[in-house]
Structure 1
């Protein structure tokens, strides 16, 4: 402030003009845009508002006019919209980087005009590396004002003109941006890029330097070395290559929520740290690999020995399982446009996550009724989709006889009545002369089963020679981090599956096939896809009815208030529609078909709440009403159904409540397909069940004779084979999945022991079991690996997840059930337990 000129002899601070055009005001405006958080990182002060989600902003980037929303919904790492307590999206400002992505990156492989190191679209921006600098010109009272700004945090404004280093519209501005970016890159190279890393695959700093034509840095290296940390058996830490971009911190703390990585020291010595500055191998790190996958340099790399060991385990599993196909390595995969947005280190970490399969004519790609943990990227060829009139469902059935009555199981495929619901390929029912064909233009097959963990709903057969890439669930999750790849998956779903699901909705049963197709076509571009978190209310009793919903995935609880009490009326699984009563009642007089008895027109008659992670198809009220105007048969059928629901007597409405429906739903029993149930009136607590389990599985028991009570039964802590198993979500190496032919959850030998599956299981049915690490020596003999500790040798202990597989790995006969001397142990579904409770009451 003392540098501001003043004509007065008085102190300058008393004469400073703080108007908008003044120098001090300009400086204050610049500094006021940012603040520092507790980590010392720059963050924006101003927050986006909900109204800005609907406001358009038009700007120009490299001569191209772009129109975007002033704010965007905040998303998690998988692209799901984050919502506040009111259920509304949490807005965040649209940045220049966002606008450039929308304008220039239309398909996988399209180059982004703005380079960046510290930012990834699935992470919250921090703006610390300054590699993404652009020149932004805005109008002020004094005329145009140009500044170099970091594009990942600078929000867009109307009539803003942006020039990147690739701008042909303004070469002078492009030169200024390029000079600034090259200087930043040179500084980073001098401090953090060793000579042996200049061509290293996956090193983003080296790649950006090469793209900018920077071969070497003009600046001197730092005066000190920050050292290396090789204490982890999985990840090598080279602090000298760390650029302090914070991507590993956000990956660990925000994406995985492990809260392990922070920062330590000051000045040149500043580096990432683990817990309270412990070596990585001695910290609480769970070795999920997210930090190494996020790192843009060689600061965090997977140990070569770990990569080789993991690859060998996966190859051995493929050979043991007699699975066909060739493993596609990271160096080849990264050349495919669809995989260009996936970090090289992730592909390296999951060295066998993608398999190339070559099929001849009439080869089966996947079968209806199977559980699948993979999806298929179509490279060439054509596939035909086949449906049966009934859908196959894999179930555990009694083997018969007295022992079978009390728990003996065999795995069979039952036929479940009703038309097939084709979640994977987009048609609910077909006439005999109708065919569904898919080719490389459709990009992907089987993605819905891979994501929602339900059985495959169709059989896919090649019509000629074909080639696909079979990818695991964790690769598909990584694809969803990239907006362009995610848009492709959403488009494929909307064009195929959404239309098929709409035409197969139960509400359309009164219509003929032609009318179903017409109704589905009408709704295809009007329906919204929304996600609802567990416990979130979709709508409340007494609210105005505005939308109709179709449950695509998960379970919804329907409750109704009676005075001070609330009763559970129903719970709705995938494929069910709800919300029609309130909409129909508002149209009763218009159509001459009133549906309410005591209900208020246009008001919700019940409360609907998500029991777990629910995905819904939402049809807006005005579109729903237009649909009913077009199809009178549909209107009349829905009105009849609504009358039946509203005229149920008190006894019928309380049916579920009479058998403790609250506990049944709260304990998640409705999802269970294979509960271990102990009859406490027979059980003598002899523990023969747990002993038999431990004896069968080499001393490691997979059940605990403890758990939740339901009526007179104890639901023991043993894998339930849930219909929608949370344990499968997020495994970094896809080592846990459901058996392709049955219900059992399997954990492969290449499990890295990160514990995410155990944490995700809401019932505590997955345990982490430690065991000494063993390797094959030069003689081909399996030996225990030891490490020096306090002058002695101790085995290197690692852990692995274990869970009940219904003894499928042994003989398929649950030892816990067969060992019970009092016939008190049973294996059954949640529905069977509910029915048994009804009978005993």
Structure 2
């Protein structure tokens, strides 16, 4: 809306409705033809949505299936479901994450475009980009690297590339802000990244094996999501620093709610008691005390994070605290409090790196447009 007067902007804002959609909630469906929601201008304030059409070749109960043909993310916009791809065919749009959408009524938009030809021209150019990307949306072939710094990925087939693009969104990669990836051309499978994590934190918070896209493996580790649903904790056992790191607080009692909420299985629950210690002979337990320190004494493996009670009720005894803290949630917090990240620092070949997925892989629209060229 660059170039639109503040008075007109205010009038548009007064008639604009901001709606919040939960994960998997539909903005509109192919079957809902003629609804005002479909005819409105949708501006994605944040979050991700998928655009799909039904096919007649499905294997579902109704003999139809869904074909994902495009993705949209915060900052994108489209003028209703009938023309968002430029072909006037209906689509179904579903929120992948919690999404905030500003809906500008069709008549308000048309009046604004009639008053400002330059704005209309910009909308037409965006619509042309959607048209150019339509073929790419169906194939989903993409180049997931910064071509100025990294080697271009070689895609074996359209089907493989489409699966890769779908995985980036379905598995929440593009939703993350700090994603640990491993260049398989450099990785020597020494496992030093995991071992360094375990040495620093007492237990590895990552698994180097994960989804593979091209020659990049996306490690199984917390990605510090833009919209972390895991933070809905009644005990404030998980929080976010101003700098963005999501971390486990000392209020955590290991209930597992955050792990259940994480859609990507990047939080695990660790038992603080060493279950193997009780089964070991007394002489072995005694010798391990001197080898590994008091943390192994009487079978208890005390993590640094669990060394202090945290904000529990002052009237509770230490024994009560001990009963509550038999388990603890474990997740990557980007080595908050340290001056480096253990996994990245320890990699001998530089294969392990942290990336911002939108910068590294490109926005979903850039991915599709790249294929269209």
Do structure 1's residue 684 and structure 2's residue 188 form an aligned pair?
yes
The one-character-per-residue Cα deviations of 1:326-357 (angstroms, maximum 9, x if unpaired) are xxxxxxxxxxxxxxxxxxxxxxxxxxxxxxxx
Q: Equivalent residue for 2:331?
A: 803
Q: Equivalent residue for 1:577?
A: 77
1:340-379 correspondence runs (5 A): none
Do structure 1's residue 509 and structure 2's residue 2 form an aligned pair?
yes
The one-character-per-residue Cα deviations of 1:242-295 (angstroms, maximum 9, x if unpaired) are xxxxxxxxxxxxxxxxxxxxxxxxxxxxxxxxxxxxxxxxxxxxxxxxxxxxxx
* 1:830–1:631 CA distance, 2 compared to 1 (3 A): closer
Q: What is the deviation of 1:695?
A: 0.7
Distance (Å, rounded) in 1 between the aligned partners of 2:129 and 2:357: 29
Q: Equivalent residue for 1:306?
A: none
Distance (Å, rounded) in 2 between the aligned partners of 1:568 and 1:696: 43
1:524-603 correspondence runs (5 A): 527=17, 529-534=19-24, 536=26, 538-540=28-30, 543-544=33-34, 546-547=36-37, 548=40, 549-559=42-52, 566=67, 568-573=69-74, 575-580=75-80, 582=82, 599-600=87-88
Q: What is the deviation of 1:540?
A: 2.8
Q: What is the deviation of 1:644?
A: 4.8
1:802-821 correspondence runs (5 A): 802-809=330-337, 811-821=338-348
Distance (Å, rounded) in 2 between the aligned partners of 1:830 and 1:528: 27
Distance (Å, rounded) in 2 between the aligned partners of 1:635 and 1:581: 23
Distance (Å, rounded) in 2 between the aligned partners of 1:561 and 1:691: 46
CA contact (8 A) 1:775 1:785 kept: no
The one-character-per-residue Cα deviations of 1:422-454 (angstroms, maximum 9, x if unpaired) are xxxxxxxxxxxxxxxxxxxxxxxxxxxxxxxxx
Q: What is the deviation of 1:580?
A: 4.3
Q: Equivalent residue for 1:658?
A: 141
Q: What is the deviation of 1:617?
A: 3.5
Q: Which has the higher Rg, Structure 1 or Structure 2?
A: 1
Q: Equivalent residue for 1:696?
A: 200
CA contact (8 A) 1:567 1:657 kept: no
| Unpaired stretches in structure 2, ≥5 consecutive residues | 58-65, 143-160, 273-299, 301-305, 310-316
The one-character-per-residue Cα deviations of 1:476-528 (angstroms, maximum 9, x if unpaired) are xxxxxxxxxxxxxxxxxxxxxxxxxxxxxxxx33411122112223x15xx36
Q: Equivalent residue for 2:100?
A: 615
Q: What is the deviation of 1:645?
A: 1.7
1:741-820 correspondence runs (5 A): 742-771=243-272, 785=319, 798-809=326-337, 811-820=338-347
Which structure is higher in RCO with an 8 Å CA cutoff and minimum separation 6?
2
Distance (Å, rounded) in 2 between the aligned partners of 1:646 and 1:581: 15
Q: Equivalent residue of 1:816, what SS?
A: helix
1:201-220 correspondence runs (5 A): none
The structure whose residues are more often strand, as a share, is 1
Q: Equivalent residue for 1:672?
A: 176
CA contact (8 A) 2:48 2:71 kept: no
TM-score normalised according to structure 1 size: 0.31
Distance (Å, rounded) in 2 between the aligned partners of 1:624 and 1:635: 17
Do structure 1's residue 735 and structure 2's residue 237 form an aligned pair?
yes
* 1:626–1:727 CA distance, 2 compared to 1 (3 A): closer
Distance (Å, rounded) in 1 between the aligned partners of 2:169 and 2:48: 10
Greater mean alpha carbon deviation, residues 509-518 or residues 575-584? 575-584
Do structure 1's residue 824 and structure 2's residue 362 form an aligned pair?
no
Q: What is the deviation of 1:615?
A: 3.2
Q: Equivalent residue for 2:11?
A: 518
1:296-445 correspondence runs (5 A): none
Do structure 1's residue 628 and structure 2's residue 110 form an aligned pair?
yes
Q: Equivalent residue for 1:419?
A: none
Distance (Å, rounded) in 2 between the aligned partners of 1:535 and 1:519: 26
Q: What is the deviation of 1:712?
A: 1.9
Q: What is the deviation of 1:686?
A: 1.6
* 1:722–1:652 CA distance, 2 compared to 1 (3 A): same
* 1:755–1:556 CA distance, 2 compared to 1 (3 A): same
Distance (Å, rounded) in 1 between the aligned partners of 2:129 and 2:173: 29
Count of aligned residue pairs for this structure pair? 293
Q: Equivalent residue of 1:831, what SS?
A: helix
Distance (Å, rounded) in 1 between the aligned partners of 2:83 and 2:141: 30
Q: What is the deviation of 1:713?
A: 1.9
Q: What is the deviation of 1:539?
A: 3.2
- Say what the alpha-carbon RMSD is for the aligned residues: 3.9
Q: What is the deviation of 1:636?
A: 6.8
